[in-house]
Chains A and B, each alone.
Chain A
Amino acid sequence: MRFAMMPVLLTLFWGAWESTGRPAPPIHFESGLAASGIGFVLRNGTVPEKPIIDTTLGGVALFDFDNDGFLDIFFTNGAAIPGLVKDGPAFWNRLYRNNRDGTFSDVTAHSGVAGEGYSMGVATGDFDNDGYMDLFVTGVNRNTLFHNNGDGTFTDITQRAGLLGFGASEKKAWSVSAAWVDYNLDGKLDLFVSSYVDWSMATNSLCGEEGKRLSCAPATYRGLPNYLYRNNGDGTFTDVSEITGIAGHVGKGMGVAIADYNGDGYPDIFVANDNERNFLFQNDGGKRFHEVGISSGVAFTEDGVPVSAMGADFRDLNNDGRPDLVVTALEGETFPVFLNLGNGFFSESSYQTGVGPGSLRKSGWSVGAYDFDNDGNKDIFTANSHVSENAPLYGPHLYKQSNSVWRNQGAGKFQDVSTQAGAAFRVLAAHRGAAFGDLDNDGRVDIVVSSIGERPEILLNRSSRANHWLLIQTKGKSSNRDGIGATIKVTSQDGMVQYNHVTTSVGYASASDKRVHFGLGKNARVREVEVTWPSGKIQRVPGIAADRVLLLEEP
């Protein structure tokens, strides 16, 4: 099925739907997998011992590697255990080029991104400002920087870039998520990497009973510090974890999300820690980071306890101009929503926002806050699954779970609409990574979700087209070329004001479209777009027609 035909077919579909007299669901997705040609299967190489690594993989990236205006898909993949070697194509990471017609072509072999080792997550960003987005792939004791050559191929430049390990000894660590962020506002993307626990096959613990082993809890292993690499601008990086204060905090890092939470112009870094307090690294002038998780109120739930935090997204959920946090966690914990109160404080508001009850029985991994129905309010999607494959052998647990979507009803109140969002939300799978972006440029944010042992889910957003939208692509000049870190304020014709910012670091171990999406409701025009670039420049663009991709270049 070609995308060109889609509007016609959708009109017929909605006409048929409406003729039944039923109101159309506000958020609706359909599976695009069958037509996509994507055959990727996320393989964790599991063995009866169930080492902890086999539960935590599955990063996905949506990025336009060939600059054709359409998002391509990158999947990370596992490896054989215990060798942690990709001993065949089944374990390759995979890159799929978007054919612009709903199908994708596997270009892994040609592009050179099959990778090595047991891969976990992915971060996307144009670190050398050459106009092509590069890939950083995290893994178990092996991270890889793939430079995008601009001709459809990538080159592994990890060693040359100084990213083989951490510190002078090039220590290896199990990295999960990573984020490209210009922390010192020098116009070059730096790299933050979250570290999980100190694990190796030699130190692997066994949990659960023989024959039905469970993934051990993170408490079994020592945590690790996270790492920050400063971009030297010459294709190399310097480990600045110590001098910036990042390395002084040991956690069990999973998801990473970036936003300027206190509006001082410097991007701050949130790290979701698994069963440990979360970290909020407040950026003090691009020189040092001050960890303020506890005093700001994001380290723990309102009950003062940590959750098994997995993924995170750091965006303004209630359109008050302050980035909020939504975090996934495990069954029985709820997915914490931390609303930014201003003045450096957050309030954990999972129940008040309505996310609490629906998340209580779910275990979540990746997460994203996007306006799926284009009504001007960001909704929430979570990719769900229990951690341990064998958990159901020990009690009333569901390993494979369906995904969730909460519709933002405005005023910071969410409603779980998963059961009405289409058959795709009834699929039970061991979901892990998820990336967000508009695959067909129809103005509706789609989702790609990985699942252990299965093909991914390509969730095409088929919500009503009644609402308008704007997709903003930033191109920095004195700021980094991607414009990562730019904050955007959109004022619609009717005065509705929304905020968002440019980031690719979203969810769990995944990277999403760098373009910033705004739903505009009934507004066919935008009164003004205001971009505050990382350089500090403020750009105001008045009178913009909706329903298009808008390229904004830094003046």
Chain B
Amino acid sequence: MKSVSLVLLLARGIYAGPDSSCTQLGPQIRSVMTLLDQSRTSEAQALLSDASEASLPCPDRLLALARLRAAENKFDESGKLFTQFLETGPTNPEGPFYFGAMLLRIGYYPQAETLADRALTLNPSHVGALTLKGRLLLMRGQAAESQHTLERAIALDPKYAEAHFQLGTLFDRRKQHESALREFEAVTALTASDARAYDYMALNWEQLGDTIRAAKAFQRGLACNSGPLSDSFLDFNYGRFLLKQDRLQESREYLNRAVTVAPKVRAVLYERAKLLLRMGNFKDAVQDAVRALDTPDPGHVILDSQLYSLLAVSFSRLGSVEEADKFTRLAAETGIPPRSADRK
């Protein structure tokens, strides 16, 4: 990751460089880009390897290669290539857009926003850059600006699925479930294999109390849960959903898988502990809850008090009076952060 920082230093002076063209490689590079858009990384790699060494300085090839490396999670190499591209193709908004998208993936949010802004300076109607910017605005809590930006992207290209997806997440956060569903349905109409969108759809149907549609959305998501649009929390969310439906054995299957995928996520361990408690497997419930308690949860998704409460009940059910009293006391004494001061 250190070399990414280095790349970012380089990126400050990226906009001056020689202009060049690769007309003979144009169709091939366009195919590579399309394959990368579709997340068909190996095919893109094979096609790109066919390009001759002589064409290495070609900016479009650099961009394609940078994107390929990003898709392969080779972020340092990708960063260097993006920087080279920006040096050679300073007026092409694709460079800062894709570089910004990559930096967002690895958590360099301010730098990603700088690059999104740069792309939009070069082309104010760049739908990808608008979407990237909208997403970053939402992360900064500027929901109204984010919504405006994303809606502009959709107006420019209603078939750009990612803009619908990001707008859907915005509505989801605001608990505007009907609006969120409209966007996620647009996503899946455009990209039938977006497991993330199905997961969100399911969660929103669930919030609207429609468990039948929620279950269908979960199942459709699980059927396509692989590749770049996969959702690593789909097993968890479906397992949690099944637990609520009292389908305990099925829930166990998905929550076990979720624990395998994310063994150090407190929420996952907690959910399985709840399942085990419901199943009357109190000892294992305690084991998962204790593991969860030892697992850092920087996002405060599952509070200590929730685990204390679960441990209090589990130990009570086990007849371990001393432990039950200890965790009852802790649950009672550990404050739960108050919600908003307003009733809205």
Contacts and interface: CB of A to CB of B under 8 A. Distances in A.
A216 B307 CA distance: 29
A304 B310 contact: yes
B300 interface: no
Contacts of B208: 360-361
B317 interface: yes
A196 B336 CA distance: 18
Contacts of A304: 303, 305-310, 331
Given A360-B208, A361-B209, A55 B343 contact: yes
Given A295-B313, A358-B209, A361-B209, A303 B342 contact: no
A492 to B, nearest CB: 28
Contacts of B317: 345
A35 B310 CA distance: 52
A216 to B, nearest CB: 6
Given A275-B339, A299-B309, A332 B344 contact: no
Contacts of B313: 294-295, 297, 345
Contact of A294 (B211, B278, B312): B312
A297 B342 CA distance: 28
Contacts of A360: 207-209
B316 A345 contact: yes
A82 B323 CA distance: 49
Given A294-B309, A294-B312, A299-B309, A217 B342 contact: yes
Contacts of B169: none
A305 interface: yes
A207 B341 contact: yes
A216 B339 contact: no
Interface string A320-354: 00000000000010000000000011010101100
Interface stretch (A104-112, A389-397, A427-435, A461-469): A389-397
A219 interface: yes
A529 B165 CA distance: 61
B285 interface: no
Nearest to A205: B341
A371 to B, nearest CB: 24
Contacts of A358: 209
A207 B343 contact: yes
B344 A303 contact: no
Interface in B269-323: 274, 278, 303, 305-310, 312-313, 316-317
Given A220-B341, A345-B316, A352-B245, A295 B209 contact: no
A215 interface: yes
A332 B174 CA distance: 12
A388 interface: yes
B111 interface: no
B108 to A, nearest CB: 33
B309 A300 contact: yes
Nearest to A297: B313
Given A217-B339, A360-B207, A391 B344 contact: yes
A397 B342 CA distance: 13
B44 interface: no
Interface residues on B, range: 35 or more
B175 to A, nearest CB: 7
Interface residues of A, number: 45
Interface in A288-326: 294-297, 299-300, 302-306
A322 B343 CA distance: 35
Contacts of A277: 331-332
B344 A388 contact: yes
B328 interface: yes
Contacts, number: 107
Contacts of A397: 344
A360 B317 CA distance: 29
A526 to B, nearest CB: 33
Interface in B324-344: 324, 328, 331-332, 336, 338-344
A397 B175 CA distance: 10
Given A294-B331, A345-B313, A360-B207, A305 B245 contact: no
A360 B309 CA distance: 23
B309 to A, nearest CB: 4
Contact of B338 (A217, A299, A351, A390): A217
Given A361-B208, A395-B175, A217 B306 contact: no
A349 to B, nearest CB: 8
B211 A357 contact: yes
Interface in B201-228: 206-211
Nearest to A304: B306
A394 B175 CA distance: 12
B344 A295 contact: no
Contacts of A297: 313
A305 B336 contact: yes
Interface string B148-184: 0000000000000000000000000011100000000
Nearest to B247: A352
B310 to A, nearest CB: 6
A394 B209 CA distance: 22
A356 B303 CA distance: 23
A410 interface: no
Contacts of A332: 175, 207
Contacts of A448: none
Interface in B102-155: none
Nearest to A300: B309
B332 A214 contact: no
A208 interface: yes
Given A217-B338, A294-B331, A357-B211, A208 B309 contact: no
B245 A351 contact: yes
B253 interface: no
A235 to B, nearest CB: 38
A207 B324 CA distance: 39
Interface string A261-302: 000000000000001010000000000000000111101101
A294 B343 contact: no
B246 interface: yes
Contacts of B74: none
B327 to A, nearest CB: 8
A275 B309 contact: no
B324 A295 contact: yes
Contact of B328 (A205, A295, A302): A295
Contacts of B206: 357
Given A214-B342, A396-B175, 9 more contacts: A207-B343, A216-B341, A217-B339, A299-B309, A299-B331, A351-B245, A357-B210, A361-B209, A396-B176
A-B pairs with lowest CB-CB distance, top 4? A304-B306, A219-B338, A357-B209, A351-B244
7 contacts: A214-B342, A214-B344, A277-B331, A356-B209, A357-B209, A361-B208, A388-B344
